[in-house]
Structure formats: C-alpha cells, structure tokens
C-alpha cells in the first residue's frame, strides 16, 4: 500500500563528520512511515542534483519521498556542499584534490551509515546508486556487510571494462597530463559547455544519453549545477580499472569485482539500452556475480515497453524517467521493505 506524504520543497541539511576530517553534506526528505530509509548515491563528477534535480519531474529523491520513503542523499568528499572545516580549508580542499574511490568506501560510507542508523534507529536501509554511485553501492555492501542492506538498486553501474567506447579510449591516453594537475576542472568546462548545448548535445547521443529522452534546457541546467571537479587520483584509479579490467582498491588488496559474490541482499540491476559509457556487458557482470537469491536484471528500452531507448544519464534525468524508471525502482524497494 502506498503511503501519502506531504512533500517539503527543500530537504533537511546536516553534516556528517568523517574520521579523517571531512564534513559530508547530508540531505534528508523525512518521512515517519514505518519503512527502511533509502540512501541515494550520486554518480562520478556530480553532486546530489544527479538524483535530486530541483525540478521535481526529474528528481528520483522527491519521487521516492512521495511514495512514502525516508530519503537520504549524501554528497561525497569534494562534491557539493561537503568540505573540510575551517574557512581556508573549505575552499582549498576542492582545489588540491587527492581522494580516491577507496575513500568513499572505507571513510565516507562508514560515517554515513552510522549517522543514518543513529538518526532513524534502523540498522538496514535501501541503497540506490546511479553510475559510479551504483559501483559505490556494490563496494559498500562488500565492505560493510549485507546486514546494512534491505535491498539494492543500481542504474548504469559498471563492474567491468570489457566494452570501451571510443571516447573512453581517448581519455585513457591523457593520464600523463592528469598526473600533473591538482584538480580536473570539470565544473568550469561544463559551465562553458552549457552555453553550447545546441551544438554539443547531439554529439553525446547514445553515449551519455539518448537524445530523444533529454530536454535540452534540463541538460543545460545539469551542466551548470550538477557537475563537480574531479580528483586526479580518483580519475587515474578508474583508468587503472579500465586498462586492467579489474575494479579494485588502489593498493590492490581489495577486489571490488571479486567480492561481488559476497553480496546476498536483494538486488535490482538496471541498464540503458544504448548506454555506451557503461555498456550492457559491464553492467550485467555484477548481476551474474552477486549471490543474491532475489535479483533481477532490467534493461530500459523500447523492447521492454519504454517510449524511447535509454542511455546513461537519462536513466535518472530523462524526459520519461519519472514515468518509466522511477516506478520500477520504487516497486522493487517496496517489495523488499
């Protein structure tokens, strides 16, 4: 049974302190329904607007809240309003960047998990991740254990690198330049790109999104407010994954790929039919490897009843996502609540 919830325009904002000195911005759409909370995890180079766009039509967070869930979004170190304490450090921590994927798993998420458990008095919650956020969800369950997961949902989350698009192969060649930079200024580049959406937008068709499924005005706004600068160490770690086709910690001791078999919680693994950033084989590997008895693989496409084909970004920010993707996510976590 669906629970009707009065929706607040703005979420509650608080900060979660990590043991190594970051204050992570945590946003909550509070609900008193007797359900497990939902944690939404944003993707690579984005902030909370990836899953909670200001326009409600494109907000997975607001949709789940309307379905009666207590929804949380946390911005990882270096993104959004997360910062190190102190007036100077608040700014320099986003200029001299040094974090990796492992920091999200072993430093940020343990603090986030304890905080949500303390506030909600719930040991478990539902984990929903888009893009690299979905890869983070897999890593979190591997590191924290199945006891913190009521169910999981990933959207366009790769766990292998067998299908490399031409643009990815190009990016793999710029590592020598990346090693010399203190930060990758994606935010500034995206702001510039937002002025050229009319010309640049069609170039990403069937890579980052299906052009039929994005509103150019929304795409322009995404580039302005949802894009974040990148840590070169994180960028190079991901490149190591793609070069060696093995997703693992920077020191090589923790294999995110090999530990997929330790995941036993219910999982819904989703892919876009024309996604060339995280292609079908790279998303499907996680579905094959996890040990969950209750798991499902779903491709959003015309063949499965959608109005258009789906790429990568439009899984959460597409014109049809609210009608075609969000209900699938909500139905899954309701079924396993």
What domains, with CATH codes, occur in the chain?
A: 12-335 (3.40.50.1820)
- 245-265 burial string, b = 16+ CB within 10 Å, else e? eebbbeeeebebbebbeebbb
pLDDT at 166: 57
Question: Across residues 292-317, what is the average pLDDT?
Answer: 97
Question: Across residues 70-94, what is the average pLDDT?
Answer: 91
Instruction: For residue 125, name the pLDDT band (cuts at 50, 70, 90).
Output: very high
pLDDT at 3: 40
pLDDT at 5: 42
Q: Are 258 and 291 in contact (CB under 8 A)?
A: no
pLDDT at 195: 87
Digit-coded pLDDT (tens) for 23-67: 999 999 999 888 999 999 999 999 999 999 999 999 999 999 999
Q: Closest Cα partner for 49 from 69, 68, 25? A: 25
pLDDT at 161: 86
pLDDT at 105: 98
The answer, yes or no, to whether residue 219 has pLDDT greater than 80, is yes
Digit-coded pLDDT (tens) for 252-261: 999 999 999 9
The answer, yes or no, to whether residue 8 has pLDDT greater than 50, is no
The whole-angstrom separation of Cα 275 and Cα 297 is 15
pLDDT at 1: 36
pLDDT at 21: 93
Q: What is the pTM for the complete model shown?
A: 0.93
Q: Are 210 and 201 in contact (CB under 8 A)?
A: no
Please count the CA atoms within 13 angstroms of the CA of 50 that sit on its side-chain side: 28
The answer, yes or no, to whether residue 222 has pLDDT greater than 90, is yes
At residue 26, φ and ψ (nearest 5 deg) are: -120, 125
The set of residues, in sequence order, having a beta carbon less than 8 Å from that of 249 and lying 6+ positions away, is: 101, 102, 255, 256
Could you give the strand order of the β-sheet that contains 149-155, starting from the edge strand earlier in sequence? 12-17, 23-29, 71-74, 38-41, 125-130, 149-155, 267-272, 295-300
Instruction: For residue 170, name the pLDDT band (cuts at 50, 70, 90).
Output: low
Question: Across residues 230-243, what is the average pLDDT?
Answer: 93
**Residue 313 to residues 55, 131, 210, 251, Cα–Cα distance (Å):** 16, 8, 9, 30
The answer, yes or no, to whether residue 205 has pLDDT greater than 90, is no
User: Residue 99: left (phi > 0), alpha (psi -120 to 50), or beta?
Assistant: beta
The answer, yes or no, to whether residue 162 has pLDDT greater than 90, is no
The answer, yes or no, to whether residue 165 has pLDDT greater than 60, is yes
């Amino acid at each position: 049974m669906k629970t009707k919830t009065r929706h607040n325009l703005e979420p509650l904002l608080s900060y979660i302190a990590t043991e190594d000195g970051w204050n992570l911005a945590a946003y909550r759409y509070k609900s008193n329904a007797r359900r497990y909370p939902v944690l939404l995890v944003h993707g690579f180079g984005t902030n909370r607007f990836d899953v909670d766009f200001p326009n409600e039509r494109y907000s997975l967070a607001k949709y789940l809240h309307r379905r009666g869930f207590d929804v949380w979004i946390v911005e990882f170190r270096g993104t959004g309003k997360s910062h190190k304490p102190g007036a100077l450090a608040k700014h320099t921590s986003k200029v001299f960047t040094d974090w990796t994927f492992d920091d999200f798993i072993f430093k940020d998420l343990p603090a986030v998990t304890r905080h949500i458990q303390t506030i909600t008095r719930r040991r478990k919650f539902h984990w929903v991740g888009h893009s690299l956020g979905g890869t983070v969800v897999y890593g979190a369950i591997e590191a924290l254990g199945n006891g913190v997961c009521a169910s999981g949902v990933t959207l366009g989350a790769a766990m292998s690198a067998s299908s490399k698009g031409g643009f990815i192969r190009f990016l793999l060649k710029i590592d020598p330049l990346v090693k010399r930079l203190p930060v990758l200024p994606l935010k500034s580049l995206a702001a510039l790109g937002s002025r050229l959406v009319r010309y640049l937008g069609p170039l990403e068709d069937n890579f980052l999104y299906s052009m039929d499924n994005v509103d150019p005005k929304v795409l322009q706004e995404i580039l302005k407010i949802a894009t974040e600068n990148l840590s070169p160490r994180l960028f190079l770690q991901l490149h190591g994954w793609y070069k060696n086709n093995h997703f693992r910690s920077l020191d090589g001791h923790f294999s995110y790929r090999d530990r997929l078999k330790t995941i036993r919680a219910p999982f819904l693994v989703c892919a876009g039919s024309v996604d060339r950033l995280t292609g079908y084989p790279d998303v499907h590997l996680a579905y094959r490897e996890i040990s969950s008895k209750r798991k499902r693989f779903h491709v959003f496409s015309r063949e499965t009843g959608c109005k258009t084909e789906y790429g990568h970004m439009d899984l959460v920010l597409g014109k049809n996502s609210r009608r075609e993707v969000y209900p699938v996510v909500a139905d899954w976590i309701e079924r396993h609540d």
